[in-house]
A and B are shown apart, each in its own frame.
Chain A
């Protein structure tokens, strides 16, 4: 089974700064990787799919990159509303999929 390891566990940054979140897969998933944002008490929201394609309605402050085993979610110009837990998800071995453990982003 593919294991996704997200780092860091928690990121504490100030408004206007850039957040860089990492997701590493235990084996190659090509570009079959998505990112989700989950705020407290809410369902997850799709941000990025195919490693770098923004989902509908997602601001261009959010960007994804990477392929194979190493992926990055970058959030530019952090806003207070970006405070959330971010999950990566692989779908390189359909019809199963796996989520990473999450990175919590705190806005100071």
Chain B
């Protein structure tokens, strides 16, 4: 079945450091890919998404490119801030209508000043 694998955390960085959180997937067909973020005490929020190969999703300085050849959707940010401290989840769905999302285990990011 479909699955998502993302790098284990926690990831600890200093402010202004470069961030990469790796995410790879296994799926039949052409899934849509998502990054969700959960800030402390809050629910999951969509951070960015991509619906087809070579699409780049971006939001709040974060970017991820849908790479079909490597089945990857790595999350990057050039300069993290303390306020980026959160849990990040990579996810996929089988079609754009968004049936059940399949999530990775989540990566906890902690940014210190």
Decide whether A and B are members of one complex.
no
Interface residues, chain B, CB within 8 Å of chain A? none
